[in-house]
Structure 1
Amino acid sequence: MTHLLVAGLTLLSLGTDDDDSVGVSRSYFDYLISAREKPRRAPASPVSNTKPKVTCSYQRWWYANGLQKVGGEYADPDRTLSSEPVKGAWYLATCSNGIPKLVWLDNRRAPRASAEQLAQRAYKRIPIAPPRVLTAPPRGRDGLVGLPHWFYLAKGEWQAKSKRLRTGAVWAEATAKPQRMTVNTGDGHTLVCHGPGTTFDPGRPAEQQRSTCSYRYGQPADARQVGVSVTWGGTWRGSGGAGGTLPPITRSVTFPVRIVEAQALVTEG
């Protein structure tokens, strides 16, 4: 409704036309002219009823024991996945139409982790430390130019490790298995050994032993910085017959090696 206030006008006879309905009323000082305009049709335009599809992924944020809806500062990533909250939990929601945000979901609405997601979490929790590397001659003693310098891992280092997680009816087990040992000899060469190396036995003559991971230095050096890395391959299996591979993990250690030349003693007599 459109209203127009006009003061000091004489009374005019206003009719109506086919499009608008117009009326005149008189007050003590003025006339009030009112008009109701008929709605005009808007030009036709195609309207899409299809809304963009929004997808979200949810990652569990573990909260402190006994606390609920307290915010992300209480997230506890080390809480075991088998511990189900009584009422619900915090989740980090990442959606295709916005930035990540924390949302509280009760157990009835909480998304269940897939077996693959559980496997990835389990894989990260497998304790894989830097390798314990032994040498012959032992570290701290001089090696000799031209003679094999042995590299091998301590007992128990070359064995698979696994971690299993479960949430509700979904479970997954991740396994990390050592695949190769790589030795950067410190003089520009790289030695790749597909095993832990052979353990040197000081109780046997050296000429009766053979190494599967050794290197002969050609030049003396006071302290060559040697780096040894062990690469682990990952696999997983889970509920519903699922399974697959996981990214490799590499752990490294460095230490000095001193190489000297053997001195021959010549005597007369």
Structure 2
Amino acid sequence: MHAVVSTRKWLMAAGLSIACVTLAPPAYADVDLGKGNEGAQTEQQGSNDGHTLESRITYSGSTKGSGGNSSGGFTPVGDWTPPACWYEPYSPDEFAKNTEEGYDLVANDPQQPSYAKSSVGQFRDYYNDGEYKNYNKDKADEGNWWVATRDPDRWLSPEAQKCDKQPFWVENGDAPNVENAVTPEILAELAYNRVQVPDTEVTLAPEDTTKVNLPTWAWLDKAKFTEVSVTAALNVNGLNIQATTTAKPVSLKLEPGTEDAETYPASGECKLNADGSIGEAYANGKADETPLCGIKYLRSSGGGTYKLQATITWEITWTGTGGAGGRLPDGTFGTDQEVIVQEIQSVNR
């Protein structure tokens, strides 16, 4: 299906700006809509046009679907991010069908300006009766067209514009000579962005309401925080590759929500125990002990609350087709909890 694109064309003539609405050419056709219209400028507005097609990668496992860093998805440590665009294979028939449908959409629309129709026509002719003949349908058993695909949640980002190569032909058995062509590692990185992790709500003792200068114990149940994984697979036109990205919780970072507090340990980072739990559950008789993981507030929250932020660090590994595998940057995911701190100096537990 071809997206309808709302694009403003600013025609800089006689000091006037004239806006018009057009439809997109084929989703992967990087058409210069200003061609044949000197001085025209285009401004993209809220639509996923350009030279891309919808991805056919499938995801399974603990997946949250698309949505970037929405609830349940972790944030990479450092400045690394999963790919915002990549290249996937399409058969000559598939490529021809999409190109012809896009051409008809624009060419038969009376609202389309002549330069848009001309540009789309030139794109079509290049693959149908120019550099190539009939979209290489007579070579269907010999190779595929590779076409750019963008993450639908990040298509406006600068990173998504880097896959700017027009559809190109690759013979069977040859590796596409372009960055971000689908490989097991690319699939692992895309799966990274789909991993769903549990909310990081720690158990506290005392729960919700604590006292000034009283250690608050914090822990996470080992049964809840276990490894989670997502498998990304692409099985089209003779290409059958997949990768599984696995996230393992390794530590909990506590941030009290105020400078008037101490954490246990002092760094605020509680390591994973040997049994997979984090911290230690409070039990009667431990009132005089120092918690493995916890907080001591030094000032009351008055009539309000402190926002305790609990953030899990997840160690990320992947395995893929052909024995490939390795590490990806750690990811973090955290949530806030409201904590009431009351001004009572001594408490019997």
1:129 Cα deviation (Å)?
A: 4.6
1:180 Cα deviation (Å)?
A: 1.2
For residues 270 and 55 of structure 2, what CA distance do their matches in structure 1 show? 36
**Corresponding residue number in structure 2 for 1:46:** none
1:63 Cα deviation (Å)?
A: 8.3
Counterpart pick for 1:131 among 200, 215, 220: 200
For residues 99 and 114 of structure 1, what CA distance do their matches in structure 2 show? 15
Amino acid across the alignment from 1:175: T
For residues 63 and 135 of structure 1, what CA distance do their matches in structure 2 show? 52
Q: Which runs of 5+ in 1 are unaligned?
A: 1-61
Counterpart pick for 1:249 among 331, 341, 347: 331
Greater relative CO (CA pairs within 8 A, separation 6+): 2
Counterpart pick for 1:122 among 179, 191, 203: 191
**Corresponding residue number in structure 1 for 2:299:** 219
**Corresponding residue number in structure 2 for 1:7:** none
CA contact (8 A) 1:93 1:100 kept: no
CA contact (8 A) 2:59 2:191 kept: no
**Corresponding residue number in structure 1 for 2:271:** 194
**Corresponding residue number in structure 2 for 1:175:** 246
Amino acid across the alignment from 1:227: Q
Counterpart pick for 1:71 among 7, 19, 27: 27
Query: Counterparts of 1:82-161 in structure 2 under 5 Å?
Result: 87-88=93-94, 91-92=147-148, 100-101=164-165, 103=167, 111=176, 113-139=182-208, 142-153=209-220, 156-161=223-228
Task: String of CA shifts for 1:109-133, please: whole Å, max 9, x gaps.
Answer: 9957222111111222211254122
CA contact (8 A) 2:90 2:147 kept: no
Return the structure number with greater strand share.
1
Aligned sequence identity (%): 26
In structure 2, the residue corresponding to 1:230 is in which secondary structure?
A: strand
For residues 78 and 191 of structure 1, what CA distance do their matches in structure 2 show? 43
When normalised by structure 2's length, the TM-score is 0.45
For residues 119 and 75 of structure 1, what CA distance do their matches in structure 2 show? 20
1:71 Cα deviation (Å)?
A: 1.6
When normalised by structure 1's length, the TM-score is 0.57
Q: Structure 1 pair 263/211, CA: closer, same or farther in 2 (3 Å)?
A: closer
Q: Structure 1 pair 63/236, CA: closer, same or farther in 2 (3 Å)?
A: farther
Task: String of CA shifts for 1:45-77, please: whole Å, max 9, x gaps.
Answer: xxxxxxxxxxxxxxxxx989xxxx952558445
In structure 1, the residue corresponding to 2:188 is in which secondary structure?
A: helix
For residues 314 and 328 of structure 2, what CA distance do their matches in structure 1 show? 10
Q: Structure 1 pair 104/218, CA: closer, same or farther in 2 (3 Å)?
A: same
Counterpart pick for 1:80 among 58, 63, 78: 58
For residues 246 and 177 of structure 1, what CA distance do their matches in structure 2 show? 12
Q: Structure 1 pair 198/81, CA: closer, same or farther in 2 (3 Å)?
A: closer
CA contact (8 A) 1:131 1:157 kept: no
CA contact (8 A) 2:57 2:232 kept: no
Q: CA RMSD in A?
A: 4.0
